[in-house]
Amino acid sequence: MRVGVLTGGGDCPGLNAVIRAVVRKGVRDHGFELVGFRDGWRGPLEGLTMELGIEQCRGILPRGGTILGSSRTNPFAIEGGVERIKDNLAQHGVDALVAIGGEDTLGVATKLAEMDVHVVGVPKTIDNDLSGTDFTFGFDTAVNIATDAIDRLHTTAESHHRVLVVEVMGRHAGWIALHAGIAGGASAVLIPEQPFDVEKVCAHVETRFQSEYAPIIVVSEGAVPVEGGAMTLVSGEKDAFGHVRLGGIGDRLASEIEARTGKEARAVVLGHVQRGGTPTAFDRWLATRFGLQAIDAVADGDFGTMMALRGTRIVRVPLAEGTGELKVVSPEEYAEAQVFFG
């Protein structure tokens, strides 16, 4: 059997660990031939391939990014895109695909599976917002990076008696902000699921300074204020999946705090730093286990499934279930965490 592998959407630490696991077990245990499709769905769309064997996977376990490249290509937004993918898979003799990605990449995989393309999915997103799995790889690394940044910012905030607003990734789900905010001892965490009151944030800032403590506020890029509640955009231009580019809520909030309280406030945008570098041990472990289970699913002919972490077990769930809705922070989870802020 000849199996294709692709990585789509935003990159994150752990992608190479999945690729390595798929290739090593695919070749050694199942006798498969593996082929890499370059740059996400653009690869099978345009026939862009690379050799993918054990030799190509040596030394990639601790590397961030993806040796296959990535893109936000949506074949369903391109006329004749699905037919081109089917033709290219047939031309390259590919019997099955392992698609590694988030809601958009796996959304495409779900539709292709419904059209009888043999595909299995591996969930990847630093936002941890796929409902079918307890955790996605990349999330733990992003939280650790954000927590380290918050730890470092505490000392400079206290030295200069200023407010620091730390903007982290999280379009619709505030998991990174919530986890990093608790782990880093932030004064407040603002997430997309719960619109925030700027006046209350400013009152909190004043209270913190009265106790001679410089506040750190962590805010997800998709968080919105109650008044004027629209996401802050870098650009209104949309990608192939209809997403606008978010960014700037940190600066917007810091300006409001400084104007309303008179306290110096600065914004720190972590941005793509959260996506880069060496994956944590947990993300390497999770990504490797996902990869091993994915190639077993191919061997079993269990197509149209996504690998998922449930407790400590890796299980297979229908792709449609894994990508059906976003997993967001519930009001109860957010309320429970408030004991740590203040």
Annotated binding site for Mg(2+): 103
Q: In the annotation, is 11 catalytic?
A: no
Residue 121, strand partner residues: 99, 306
Catalytic entry in 127, 129, 283, 296: 127
What 3-state DSSP class applies to 48? coil
Max Cα separation, the chain? 70
Whole-angstrom Cα distance, residue 210 to residue 204? 10
- Provide the annotated binding site for diphosphate: 10
Alpha helix ranges (H) inside the chain? 15-28, 42-46, 81-91, 103-114, 139-160, 175-183, 198-210, 249-261, 281-300, 319-323, 331-337
DSSP string, 181-224: HHHTT-SEEE-TTS-B-HHHHHHHHHHHHHTT---EEEEETT--
Q: Do 189 and 341 meet the contact criterion of CB atoms below 8 Å apart?
A: yes
For residue 130, the 8-state DSSP code is B
Looking at the annotation, which residues are catalytic? 127
